[in-house]
Chain A
Amino acid sequence: MAFFRINTPSFYKKTIMCPQHITTKERLAIPRQEMPSQNPDVRNKNFKEVNLGYTPELAQQEALRCIQCKDPSCIKGCPVNIKIDQFIKLIADGNFLGAAKKIKEDNVLPAICGRVCPQEDQCEKACILTKKHKSVAIGNLERFAADFERETGNVELPAVKASTGKKIAVIGSGPAGLSCANDLIQLGHSVTVFEALHELGGVLVYGIPEFRLPKEIVKLEIDGLKQLGVKFITNTVAGRSITVDELLKEEDFDAVFIGVGAGLPWFLGIPGENLLGVYSANEFLTRVNLMKSYQFPDNDTPVFNCKGKNVAVFGGGNTAMDAVRTAKRLGADHAYIVYRRSEAEMPARIEEVHHAQEEGIEFLMLMNPLEFLGNEQQWLTGAKCLKMELGEPDDSGRRRPVPIKDSEFILPIDMAVISIGNGSNPLIKQTTPDIEVSKRDTIVVDINTMATSKEDVYAGGDIVTGGATVILAMGAGRTAAKAIHEKLMGIDPHE
């Protein structure tokens, strides 16, 4: 049994034998442990990870804050229902490896989810402590357990069942595809993952920046799947290099899971959007993250030279925060978020907004761009914007932004990044017409099985939901894996 010392608050200093002896009142007296992070003025000039992770001491203290509810509501708040109370208790007991194993029973990518999940809207929002105190830092603890297991070289491969002889194709190596592949390989199926880009990981490598999710972590998670026997084929675009029908008929796959993610970026549809210096967030982030253009000229791919320039990112989601913080790191003098509603309506995670503010990002709220302006050489020089005020709530329940009359002004900028979401990639729809799609071109599925309208074809992640989160995509991948397994093995799920 581990001995450990509780340091804060000071009146509470005592050495204890066993955490079970702490009363609820004592647990509640422990403040939520802050995540150590790089100094904002240092980190906004480098691409290293912002959050540094809990030490074992911080993790144990934080874990002690969990009052171990009889009916933990946090688990219901988690899209993949991680046994949160159990893994936190293991951390409190000092059994960090046990905690990591417990998480992995439900979540195959804990080091990733511990970093990028919107916990404040999921498990932590449901935490009973939020009523009177701050919630338990479940995400930070998940990350700690996964990092501890990996950094101490204790990652154990799960057991793989005897071969079933069934072959499954997974299209896309993002969070949906990886979690689906993981479950299917463990059930004894042969799994091949097809990826369009030259690198594996989907949005985890091209979209989410290094400073929020180190690519080495993604690589190690994928290496684990390779060791389990998952085959990965890069540079293969579904619908072009190979179609769903060819996979089923010519390459003898018994089932196909489509997890190709969101597709074509939306633009604002205002004049001047094709000026030089106007980017989609996808392009800007892909150049920097996947193609490593921040290391130009050592890497060949260039990106807009932000040094000493004014950059505005239009949008208020997590991708917008990633883009604006990336521009700051590339040396932008002013890096703005321009959003047409107020900060309260921004869809980005609170943590990301705080991090951005600490790093010197300037938030221009209630502003709507009308037109991009350029010079004779067609380089962007500014954005004509209109000031807004909040009116009545709209269909989404958020207060509708209403233009303020005669409030037009010009924001001088050298680069604009449009981050207002993505439509669906049309390639699957064009080449597999018997898969039903919605008006927005997302694939229609039965949410209990993720089965599409086409026999033996399943889908999940952003191609089904439109732009959403890593954990939702992972949950969909797992639901599909279970349904595929039951279908191929002739198991009745209701028995």
Chain B
Amino acid sequence: MHKIVSAIFLAENIKKIEIEAPRIAKKRKAGQFIMIRVDQTGERIPLTIADADPEKGTITIIVQGMGKSTKELNTKEAGDTISDIVGPLGAPSEIENFGTAVSIGGGVGTAIAYPTAVALKKAGNYVITINGARSKDLVILEKEMNAVSDEAYITTDDGSYGFHGFVTQKLQELIDSGKKIDYVLAIGPIPMMKAIAEVTRPYNIKTMVSLNPIMVDGTGMCGGCRVTVNDEIKFACVDGPEFDAHQVDFKNLTDRNKLYLPEEKQSAEAFAHKCNLQ
């Protein structure tokens, strides 16, 4: 059992949850994830570790309520407990001094882009962050991203805050301005990551994306999270979750993530019904 130390909403439907997990807090590196099972009948879902405090023995996850499990997680408050957490899993982000590194987060993906931005900064990179959201009230981690960035940009789809447009447009603008970019990390919805890959491909900029396929055990045992990278089968849980964006088959990932749409809908509706009754 893991106790929740604090739980606050950062934006509508996006919650920052700090949980006691001393071993994981001590070991985790940027880019790694945990498998979490909320209660005894819960499913195991992967969530990237956004932050950790080894001294306090806590890890932080940032959760967007999408399906039943994430919505249920977002009903948790400080003092509540989580049944099972295992980690840190996956290969850590590849961190070195690339030169100029751009860390791009789209929506709740910013929660994952953030720890890698911290690590890139620590490694001596000139760090540019692009933090994208649909609108101003959905922008998260603005202060944190600013603190680790040499240049920080915010983009909103509706123009309600920062640059009016998509993260891809901002990245293109930076490239067009003549800035020499050596490394790009993009984390967010699949269409966004795919679009970023197309922006950097002509310039041959090394670009990594963090993939979010469906997982069960998260340790390499089941192969449910297999993705196609460079025409080869890779397991996101042990070979990833970060892969070369220019080699990822995003269509296959999009298709495979639809595997349980009817069941996910059924679970989410039943959960919403239960919440309404309470």
Decide yes or no: A276 and B255 within 8 Å by CB, A236-B23, A265-B221 being known contacts.
Answer: yes
B223 touches A427 (CB 8 A): no
Stretch in A97-105, A157-165, A291-299 touching the partner: A291-299
Any B CB within 8 A of the CB of A240: yes
A282 touches B222 (CB 8 A): yes
A280 touches B256 (CB 8 A): no
Any A CB within 8 A of the CB of B16: no
B221 touches A263 (CB 8 A): yes
Chain B interface, number of residues (Cβ within 8 angstroms): 42
Residues of chain A contacted by B226 (CB below 8 angstroms): 267, 274
Residues of chain B contacted by A198 (CB below 8 angstroms): 37, 44, 83-84, 86
Residues of chain B contacted by A51 (CB below 8 angstroms): none
Residues of chain B contacted by A265 (CB below 8 angstroms): 221-223
Stretch in B53-61, B149-157, B199-207, B257-265 touching the partner: B257-265
B233 touches A273 (CB 8 A): yes
A378 touches B255 (CB 8 A): yes
Any A CB within 8 A of the CB of B224: yes
Task: Return the chain B residue nearest A264 by Cβ.
Answer: B220
Decide yes or no: A286 and B43 within 8 Å by CB, A236-B86, A274-B256 being known contacts.
Answer: no
A301 touches B44 (CB 8 A): yes
A300 touches B221 (CB 8 A): no
A300 touches B267 (CB 8 A): yes
Q: Mark B228-259, 1 if CB is under 8 A from A, else 0.
A: 10000101001000000000000010011011
> Within the assembled complex, what's the spacing in Å between the Cα atoms of A242 and B26?
10
Query: Separation in Å of the B64 CB from the closest CB of chain A?
Result: 18
> Within the assembled complex, what's the spacing in Å between the Cα atoms of A299 and B23?
28
Residues of chain B contacted by A206 (CB below 8 angstroms): 217, 221
> Within the assembled complex, what's the spacing in Å between the Cα atoms of A82 and B86?
38
B219 touches A300 (CB 8 A): no
Decide yes or no: A264 and B221 within 8 Å by CB, A297-B266, A297-B270, A427-B238 being known contacts.
Answer: yes
Residues of chain B contacted by A283 (CB below 8 angstroms): 216, 222-224
B233 touches A196 (CB 8 A): no
Q: Choose among A242, A280, A297 the residue that contacts B223 (Cβ–Cβ < 8 A).
A: A280
A237 touches B221 (CB 8 A): no
Report whether over half of chain A's contact residues are helix, strand or loop; otherwise say mixed: loop
A286 touches B216 (CB 8 A): yes
Decide yes or no: A291 and B258 within 8 Å by CB, A263-B221, A283-B224, A297-B263 being known contacts.
Answer: no
> Within the assembled complex, what's the spacing in Å between the Cα atoms of A301 and B224?
13
> Within the assembled complex, what's the spacing in Å between the Cα atoms of A197 and B252?
28
A287 touches B219 (CB 8 A): no
Query: Separation in Å of the A401 CB from the closest CB of chain B?
Result: 24
Decide yes or no: A291 and B85 within 8 Å by CB, A276-B259, A427-B238 being known contacts.
Answer: no
A298 touches B86 (CB 8 A): no
Query: Separation in Å of the B36 CB from the closest CB of chain A?
Result: 10
Any B CB within 8 A of the CB of A432: no
A237 touches B89 (CB 8 A): yes
A to B contact number (C-beta, < 8 Å): 116
Query: Separation in Å of the B273 CB from the closest CB of chain A?
Result: 12
Any A CB within 8 A of the CB of B177: no
B86 touches A276 (CB 8 A): no
Q: Mark A265-288, 1 if CB is under 8 A from B, else 0.
A: 101000001101001101100110
Residues of chain A contacted by B42 (CB below 8 angstroms): 300
A274 touches B87 (CB 8 A): no
> Within the assembled complex, what's the spacing in Å between the Cα atoms of A298 and B223?
25
- Most chain B CB within 10 A, of A234, A286, A300, is at A300
Any B CB within 8 A of the CB of A391: no
Any A CB within 8 A of the CB of B41: yes
Residues of chain B contacted by A267 (CB below 8 angstroms): 223, 226, 233
A280 touches B224 (CB 8 A): yes
Decide yes or no: A302 and B68 within 8 Å by CB, A197-B217, A264-B238 being known contacts.
Answer: no
Q: Mark A293-325, 1 if CB is under 8 A from B, else 0.
A: 000111111101100000000000000000000
Any B CB within 8 A of the CB of A347: no
Query: Separation in Å of the B102 CB from the closest CB of chain A?
Result: 29
A237 touches B219 (CB 8 A): yes
Residues of chain B contacted by A286 (CB below 8 angstroms): 216-217, 221-222
A425 touches B41 (CB 8 A): no
Any B CB within 8 A of the CB of A36: no
Task: Return the chain B residue nearest A280 by Cβ.
Answer: B223
> Within the assembled complex, what's the spacing in Å between the Cα atoms of A240 and B24?
9
Residues of chain B contacted by A152 (CB below 8 angstroms): none
Query: Separation in Å of the A473 CB from the closest CB of chain B?
Result: 16
Query: Separation in Å of the A305 CB from the closest CB of chain B?
Result: 8
Residues of chain A contacted by B221 (CB below 8 angstroms): 206, 263-265, 282, 286, 425
Residues of chain A contacted by B260 (CB below 8 angstroms): 302
Any B CB within 8 A of the CB of A241: yes
- Most chain B CB within 10 A, of A236, A305, A378, is at A378
Q: Mark B67-87, 1 if CB is under 8 A from A, else 0.
A: 011000000000000011111
Residues of chain A contacted by B259 (CB below 8 angstroms): 276, 304
Binding site for B on A (CB under 8 A): 196-198, 206, 234-237, 240-242, 263-265, 267, 273-274, 276, 279-280, 282-283, 286-287, 291, 296-302, 304-305, 377-378, 425-427
10 contacts between A and B (CB under 8 A): A235-B86, A236-B86, A241-B24, A264-B223, A265-B221, A274-B228, A283-B223, A301-B44, A305-B262, A378-B252
Shortest beta-carbon contacts, A-B, top 5: A302-B263, A283-B222, A235-B86, A300-B43, A378-B255
**12 further contact pairs, Cβ within 8 A, besides A197-B86, A276-B258:** A236-B23, A240-B27, A242-B23, A264-B235, A265-B221, A274-B252, A276-B259, A296-B263, A300-B43, A300-B267, A302-B267, A305-B263
